[in-house]
Chains A and B, each alone.
Chain A
Amino acid sequence: MNRRDRFSTSFAQADRLLLWIYFILTLVGWLNIYSAVYDESHHSIFDMQVNYGRQLVWILTSYLLVAMVMISDSRFYSTFAYIIYFLVLILLVAVIFIGKEVSGSKSWIQYGAFQIQPAEFAKLSTSLGLAAWLGNIKRRFEDFSTQLVAYLMIFIPAVLILAQKETGSALVFASFILVLYREGMSGLILIIGLVSAVLFVLALLVNKYVLISLIALLLSVGWFYLKRHRKKISIWLVLAAFVVSSVFVFSVDYVFDRVLQPHQKTRINVLLGKEVDLKGAGYNVHQSMIAIGSGGFWGKGYMKGTQTKYNYVPEQSTDFIFCTIGEEWGFVGSLAIIGLYVVLIYRLMQLAERQRTPFSRIYGYCVAVIFFFHMAINIGMTIGLLPVIGIPLPFLSYGGSSMWAFTLLLFIFIKLDAHRHEYV
């Protein structure tokens, strides 16, 4: 097959629904950035001085990337998965030394006028690496070594990104847990993860001794209940659970005080309502909620958002782009955007399940959960349900690196899916 044929068959076979969602999201994203930063003094939509001008360039170059992915050989990705993984890992290390500092985080590599953020591409490379590792049919997930390597493959780039103070991007690596779960990881880990999160929040809010008493009460009630129904449960397991959760509760303070950065502590405190910080994080969320909340059912209309238009919402074209949607398009728009993401994620999972190779399936799940985490963390932050974590909304937020990275992430899967019949 020559390149032209490959290109046309790829598009012919590509999933129409995903293509449409991608196209709609990039378009909506651009329109909203235009609305958010529109200023009468700039007229051309290609004006490189303003965000919407640059974003248009990012979108158009992303379409070029789409074409390149479509032309490429679909086997390229599984073949070179490890190499790509290690190349990005090197970049992540390099950025610590040669990186350029942008607003507090040293995560950019600059080459002339061109600058990229390797962290954005680490999600892609980790997805590929993980898919290659777990997708090898000779490997069994139950093996300890398989799991250990998988965890390390996730953990190492995450730590490197955390070292660049890109907390949001690092947090996204937690989404791979969901992929591991799909591939056979014990569901208990998910439950323990959920319980720890709840305990963490409660430990910050409630008196620790009250909390521990509550845990003891819950565990003994549970134990008696199970016993009465003649379920076998060891008293030692219950006691162990009690000890572990008590230690966890008491270590929360230590983690909170020593491990987290001051601004992160503030963000969490603001979210929990323990602190009013209308200067920093609290201010952003407050303004963001005003913008969204004032949108009403139908919204204020395109370009008519007052909160976003007059710079009340900070970072409104990047992390807080959802405010523009909420304010100008109202509940209808919010529903449409969240709906689009849900359909996108659901479709990705659906298509992942129909893959013939574990590599494609795992990669497909990686893509789905990455989008899910980005959507959940970003929107959760703008509506005040999660602490402020700087993380882009896929295809909507302003930014070249994220635009390219998400495009590659999605279209590599679309490519793999289009050629799923070619694999054994």
Chain B
Amino acid sequence: MTDSRPVLTMTGISKSFPGVRALHNVDFRLFPGEVHALMGENGAGKSTLIKVLTGVYGIDEGTITLGDEQVAFSGPMQASAAGVSTVYQEVNLCPNLSVAENIFIGREPRLLGAVRWGEVRRRARQLLTRLDLDIDVTAPVASYSLAVQQMVAIARAIDVQARVLILDEPTSSLDATEVAQLFRVMRQLRDEGIAILFVTHFLDQVYGIADRITVLRNGTLVGEYPIAELPQLALVEKMIGKELDVLERLEEQPRRELAAVEGGTPFVAVSELGRKGAVAPFSLTIHAGEVVGLAGLLGSGRTEAARLFFGADRADRGEVTVNGKPTSLRNPVQAIEYGIGFCSENRRAEGIIPDLSVRENMILAMQAARGWLRPIPRRRQDELVEQYIKALSIRPANPDVPVRNLSGGNQQKVLLARWLITEPRLLILDEPTRGIDIGAKAEIQKLVVQLSDGGMAVLFISAELEEVLRLSHKVAVMRDREMVAQLDNDDTVDAERVMQTIASGSTRKEASQ
């Protein structure tokens, strides 16, 4: 496997942005026929290393060798032509173009100069089948969930005849089944001799597929290790530079008692709430201090259901009561007035305002609620922003940099802070830990527990079942855009049982009626 020479060698790579040293003298090697995990905390420099390699950024110092030649790509197109195919961390597809067009954009099969659209569609379908995804390839990409978009981006990358395949957090919104499917394809490609660079914050995925690990910390190289020589705990230590104990403490957390929070008027109760084409009518109650988890597979309608609670989409049937009073949630402004907050899963399209500073992004929701005539005094802003930069360990800890300059995980934390600052009574968290490193993830989970103990209701969505089970009092299971069951999260519930419920959804539903 590693007897051959590396297909890619990066030596002494340094890259600075104004005020930030993102990479300092980093070496990296990639061998043909291996899956190589690039690990590190949020802001460690993983994405920057990838972008430097593919020519998105120029390098300050260092050399890159691909095969036998020294290279300096001018951008992703050139890199991909040279056999380095990349899926960047933020899915960048053209939202208005169809799935098939997105997959073949820039390299459409042609006949006498004319694009062969039939062929494009047929091959797109074939590719997606390889990833076990059966969708309409003529529909615009924007009409699909983020997870599907991620799969489309992956499909585009693996179709290129590549020597090197780079996947920057490709699995951040995928469920276990899609991950398994992706891994099957990755193994196939690896066995064909392709070198795969894989970034993720999921340790079990690393140990499930990687052959070798390179660890970055704070823009410097910690080391390169064969997977067998670096057990999980040691890896975590290398990543954060110290031992991690929060994680263990969280594991020991007792199951959360539903009885303790249920009873009395629910904060929000919906009955037969639904929206055509998005989610079938469902009923659900959320009490103050209660964490309700939404479980389900990709496209099962979790996000769609959550959006109705926030008025992000308007329900076309059903009733809503807030604090026992009937109402309807027609738009976000109204939901926010009731004290509801919604942290979207799609931070690029629905979350960050890239040009605005970290400070402005954080106070945005609070400011919107106050109205533009009552600006938040600067001193108060500073207090709030400083508090959350510290609480969520956002780096760089500078409130005045544009948020687009932050690493993906740190952007996610900024979004979370935006809603925490508003002190909502119900916080809807759609994949809040997406792309967040394990240390910060544990911190955020702890925070959710703390906040709900303090009386905040939480609607929690995550592709990671363990996380849902760890935090929730109650788990609502979605399947095919229908809520098929609601389980009290007691000792009888575990990931397996939830998976079973998902699999056998319809029978469950009859039983519960």
Please determine whether chains A and B interact with each other in the same assembly.
Answer: no
Residues of A within 8 A of B (CB): none
Residues of B within 8 A of A (CB): none
